[in-house]
Chain A
Amino acid sequence: MSGLRLIASYPRSGNTWVRAFLTALVRGGPPDINALDVRVGAERQFFDDTLEIETSDLLHDEQRRLRPGAFRSAWQVAAEGGPLKTHDAWLTAPGAAEPPFPREHIEAVVLIVRDPRDVAPSLATYFGVTTDSAIELMANPEWSLGGGSRGLMHLLPQLVSSWSRHTASWLASGLPVLLVRYEDMIAKPLDAFPRIAEALKYDLPRDSLARLLDATQFDRLKAEEARKGFRESSRHAPNRFFGSGTAGGWRQKLTAAQADRIVREHGSIMRELGYGD
């Protein structure tokens, strides 16, 4: 029995694009963007079903503590459902005793990274905040998703952390991590996507690669969203989930001061990943 396969990334870094590609691969044709195969590793429904309680009745610390245990008790069910998308960092969140997935059941991790200068404007649109606030979030080691306190989120709280800590945590996790740059998914899809598929234990027939890449071209997903609507798009930017999807767009979107600030805060990991000037 194979274990958990994770697609880890900072938000707005290409995770959904990979999910669309894998859905096309399994279905053998263009994916319905409102029925993507890959589930999210923090979906409340999974934890409610696994623990047989309403996790909305638990405090955030309790939810974070029980998360890895829930995966431990139902990892086969979770693994059979295919890879899981996650924006969590590989860190021990407040209240928890370990990172969010049980290490011993993880079979593979694909870590998708994107130049943080391109992440920032995209994040701003998605969350309906200014670019400066987005840059602020990306510098916050305690940044969490799904931790809202006034209403119920359909995802459990996830410690995303700062862009640097998030990325470094996966790279230093000791897990079998395949690092893929978003920029390479754009520039060298024929190389990047087969590597992702292989790491996640998919059978990718070589002769269908071009067709699948065509079916999940970024512009095509974007057009699909404009035409049909996208359930997962943000309430702050309804049906504008798929943005420009480009690499290097930050040169037009960020001020020099904003770009400098990102480099100041994340420069060391950026250099490691080849995100120079």
Chain B
Amino acid sequence: MSAEPHRAAAIANSDLFLCGLRVRSTLPLPELAPWTGDDREPDLVIRTGAIPARLDGAHDMSPLLQITPQMQARLSIDGVATYWLRSSEEIIIDPQIAADRPDVRIFLFGTILGLLSHRRGLFPLHASCVRIGGNAVAIAGISGAGKSTLATALTRRGHALLSDDVCVIDPAAADGPAVLPAFPRVKLWQDSLEAMGIGSHGLAANRPGQHKYHFYLAEAANFEPSALPLKKIYLLSPSNAPLAGRNEIEKLAPTSAISGLHQQIYRKRTAAEWGLEPGLFKSLGTIVGAAEIYHLTRSPDLADLAMMVQRFEAHAAS
């Protein structure tokens, strides 16, 4: 037997799973679970390589982001890496630091994953997502609202994580909108880790010197690898003070649900520039038709977290 097929199998065995895609990467991506699905060709290739300073026909979305009408994107983070979303099947990364540093992957699994989802006709929501009672429950909200903290606290009560920060929804799934699981890693700030009794010792910092850490859910039971129907979404907003006459959790009527979720579409401006907004807005109707949408007001005091998680769990499971 020649060595050739053996080597091919080894490469194939190292393929990875991301939102239902078979991913082949020359860059180490320890966040991702191994691919255990069929023996299809990879859906997405991630590799390191040179990236042109200016994409053909590029338009500047921001000082950091160029996009093209052909739905390419070039994101540049000084001192970290440049990222090129070249097609729905290919992402090229040009790191300015060691390629295995966690910083390099932050923006890959942030903006680039969001833009890739848009390109592939999916619906990325700014949310973390857990499995509760066999369904996907998303916790949406702006940065700092407490999505990752609440999701992690729920995994510590036995609920599996589907995604952190970017929740990729397939709005056209056969049985209604479904969440495509991403990977078993969350990003947490020091104060949230402490509130959950997790030590930061040994955790990789998000950026050098930053007290925000990458926390891997080591137990297989803590990650849900199958797409699940999206049944509830909580729009999380912190309030510094108790507001009279407002419950912690309130169901939203369709118009408020649509407007609340519309603002949480991940990387919405670029999607709009690509002409995707009418379709995304239509999908919002599908999502709101299939899932219950709630507003969740959160106390900023992490000492209240344990109680809040229990109330949340009871509500989400009901």
Chain A: residues with CB nearer than 8 A to chain B? 34, 44-45, 48-59, 62, 66, 69-70, 72-74, 149-154, 227-235, 238-239
Q: How many A-B residue contacts, CB cutoff 8 Å?
A: 110
Q: Which of B231-258 contact A (CB under 8 A)?
A: 238-246
Q: Which residues of A contact B210 (CB under 8 A)?
A: 59, 149
Give the residue of A56, A66, A70, A153 whose beta carbon is less than 8 angstroms from that of B212: A56
Looking at the assembled complex, report how far the CB atom of A145 sits from the nearest CB atom of chain B, in whole angstroms: 14
Q: Which residues of A contact B143 (CB under 8 A)?
A: 44-45, 48, 54-56, 152, 154
Q: Which residues of A contact B239 (CB under 8 A)?
A: 229, 231
For the complex, what is the distance from the CA of A234 to the CA of B239, rounded to whole Å? 10
Contact A53:B75 (CB < 8 A) given known A45-B143, A70-B63, A150-B189: yes
- Closest partner residue, chain B, to A57 (CB atom): B106
12 contacts between A and B (CB under 8 A): A48-B142, A49-B268, A54-B111, A59-B210, A62-B78, A149-B190, A150-B191, A152-B212, A228-B244, A229-B239, A229-B246, A235-B300
Contact yes or no, A51 B211, CB < 8 A: no
Contact yes or no, B189 A233, CB < 8 A: no
Contact A56:B144 (CB < 8 A) given known A51-B62, A151-B192: yes
Contact A49:B269 (CB < 8 A) given known A56-B143, A56-B144: yes
For the complex, what is the distance from the CA of A249 to the CA of B62, rounded to whole Å? 47
Contact yes or no, B269 A238, CB < 8 A: no
For the complex, what is the distance from the CA of A56 to the CA of B191, rounded to whole Å? 15
For the complex, what is the distance from the CA of A234 to the CA of B241, rounded to whole Å? 7
Contact yes or no, A233 B267, CB < 8 A: no
Looking at the assembled complex, report how far the CB atom of A146 sits from the nearest CB atom of chain B, in whole angstroms: 11
B170 located at the interface, meaning its Cβ lies under 8 Å from any Cβ of chain A in the complex: no
Chain B: residues with CB nearer than 8 A to chain A? 60-65, 75, 77-79, 106-107, 110-111, 142-144, 165, 189-192, 206-212, 238-246, 267-270, 300-301
New A-B pairs, 13, CB < 8 Å, besides A51-B63, A51-B65, A239-B241: A44-B142, A45-B143, A52-B62, A52-B75, A58-B207, A73-B62, A74-B62, A149-B211, A151-B190, A152-B143, A228-B245, A229-B246, A238-B241
Q: Which residues of A contact B238 (CB under 8 A)?
A: 154
Contact A231:B62 (CB < 8 A) given known A48-B143, A150-B191: no
Give the residue of B212, B243, B270 whose beta carbon is less than 8 angstroms from that of A52: B270
Looking at the assembled complex, report how far the CB atom of A66 sits from the nearest CB atom of chain B, in whole angstroms: 7
Looking at the assembled complex, report how far the CB atom of B152 sits from the nearest CB atom of chain A, in whole angstroms: 14
For the complex, what is the distance from the CA of A239 to the CA of B240, rounded to whole Å? 9
Give the residue of A53, A154, A232 whose beta carbon is less than 8 angstroms from that of B77: A53
Q: Which residues of B contact A228 (CB under 8 A)?
A: 243-245
For the complex, what is the distance from the CA of A54 to the CA of B164, rounded to whole Å? 13
Q: Which 9 A-B pairs have the closest CB atoms?
A: A238-B241, A151-B191, A229-B243, A152-B144, A150-B190, A151-B189, A233-B241, A51-B62, A239-B241
Q: Which residues of B contact A50 (CB under 8 A)?
A: 62
Contact yes or no, B192 A238, CB < 8 A: no
Q: Which residues of B contact A45 (CB under 8 A)?
A: 142-143
Looking at the assembled complex, report how far the CB atom of B310 sits from the nearest CB atom of chain A, in whole angstroms: 22
Contact yes or no, B240 A73, CB < 8 A: no
Q: Which residues of A contact B206 (CB under 8 A)?
A: 57
Q: Which residues of A contact B243 (CB under 8 A)?
A: 34, 228-229, 231
For the complex, what is the distance from the CA of A230 to the CA of B206, rounded to whole Å? 33
Q: Which residues of A contact B77 (CB under 8 A)?
A: 53
Contact yes or no, B242 A238, CB < 8 A: yes
Contact yes or no, A59 B63, CB < 8 A: no
Contact yes or no, A229 B144, CB < 8 A: no
Q: Which residues of A contact B270 (CB under 8 A)?
A: 52
For the complex, what is the distance from the CA of A201 to the CA of B191, rounded to whole Å? 43
Q: Which residues of B contact A239 (CB under 8 A)?
A: 241-242
Contact yes or no, A53 B107, CB < 8 A: yes
For the complex, what is the distance from the CA of A70 to the CA of B189, rounded to whole Å? 25
For the complex, what is the distance from the CA of A230 to the CA of B142, rounded to whole Å? 20
Q: Which residues of B contact A153 (CB under 8 A)?
A: 144
Q: Quick one: which of A53, A58, A62, A235 has the most chain B CB within 10 A?
A: A53
- Closest partner residue, chain B, to A55 (CB atom): B143
Contact yes or no, B189 A227, CB < 8 A: no
Q: Which residues of B contact A52 (CB under 8 A)?
A: 61-62, 64-65, 75, 111, 267, 269-270
Contact yes or no, A154 B111, CB < 8 A: no
Q: Which residues of A contact B75 (CB under 8 A)?
A: 52-53
Looking at the assembled complex, report how far the CB atom of B293 sits from the nearest CB atom of chain A, in whole angstroms: 20
Looking at the assembled complex, report how far the CB atom of A147 sits from the nearest CB atom of chain B, in whole angstroms: 12
Q: Which residues of B contact A66 (CB under 8 A)?
A: 63-64
